[in-house]
Structure formats: structure tokens, C-alpha cells
Chains A and B, each alone.
Chain A
Amino acid sequence: GDSVTQMEGPVTLSEEAFLTINCTYTATGYPSLFWYVQYPGEGLQLLLKATKADDKGSNKGFEATYRKETTSFHLEKGSVQVSDSAVYFCALSVDSNYQLIWGAGTKLIIKP
């Protein structure tokens, strides 16, 4: 079945470090891919998305490229800030399924 695998957390980085959170997927058909973020005490919000192969989603300095050949959608940011501390979820949806399939989430801790 369809699934998403994310790197285990927590990931602890110093401010201004480079961030990569790995996400790979298994899906039938042509999925759309999403990164959602959950800040402490807040709800889930979309960070970025890509709906077809080679698309790059970007927002707030974060980027992810939909790689069909490696079935990946890794999240990157060049210089993280303390305010980026949150839990990041990779997810996919496929047509005719009408649901988001989630990775386990990666907790990111940024130290000043």
C-alpha cells in the first residue's frame, strides 16, 4: 500500500545550520507530496507542496523537490532559526483516495 517514511527524530541543530529532513514514499499512481509543520501548541499547517515530478515547493526559506526517480521529497533549509523548532510531517495523497498518508513526523530542535 501507499506509505511515507521519514527520518527519525529528534533532530538537534545549532542556529544557522543547514537542515535536511529525509522523506521517501511508496505510492501507486502519481501522488501529490506535502510537508506540514506543527509548532508547539499549534495546529498543523501546510509548509509546502509539489504535485508533479520535478516540481519544487518552497516557503519561508524551506524547499523540497519531488524526485520520482528516487521516490523522495526531502525538506531542506539553508540556515535554520530557533523559531523553526517544531514537528515536521511529510505526507502524500493519491487520486481516488481522498486522504493524506503521513510519515511519523520529525521533531526539530534548534539551539541558539
Chain B
Amino acid sequence: AQSVSQHNHHVILSEAASLELGCNYSYGGTVNLFWYVQYPGQHLQLLLKYFSGDPLVKGIKGFEAEFIKSKFSFNLRKPSVQWSDTAEYFCAVYGGATNKLIFGTGTLLAVQP
């Protein structure tokens, strides 16, 4: 069965620090990968996605993620975080003959001003 692991459950950073959130998935076939973000009091929204092509994908608000097939990883990065990036971040994967999105457990990011 497919699964998604997010190893960082809670991250605290100061503004301007660099961010990297880990995401690993378990599925050997073709996958489509997503990062969703949930700001306080708001619903889940798409940050970025990878379907094919360039493994380095850029999303909204300066976020990017790199798909490394050999490591089954899709880590999220941002060179300089802002207080407004405080949110919960979810990695998710589509894989195989299914329309299910499989989510990780989420990483709660708190950025201190």
C-alpha cells in the first residue's frame, strides 16, 4: 500500500531562516506529488505539484520542491521564510490505478518574527 512519511512534525524557525520539510513516499511506480498548505483558520490549498518533467518544481509564495525518484522523496524548500508562512504543510501522493490522494501526517511550521 502507498504511504507518505513526513518526519518533521513540528518546526520552529525565525524569520529569514531557510526551510526544508522532508517527504518520503512508498510506491515504486509513476507518482504524482503534491504539497498542500493549511493556514490558520483556512482550508487546504495547493502549494505546488509534480506530475512529470523538470523534477524541481516551483510553487506559490517562493516555495519549491525537488522530486528525487531514487530516494522516493519530494522535499519542500524555501530559502527565506516569513511570519506569514506559519501554517501546517501536507505532502500527498497519487499513485497507481487510484484517484486517492494519500496524505502525510503534516508538519506544523511556526515562524517567529
Do these two chains really belong together in a complex?
Answer: no
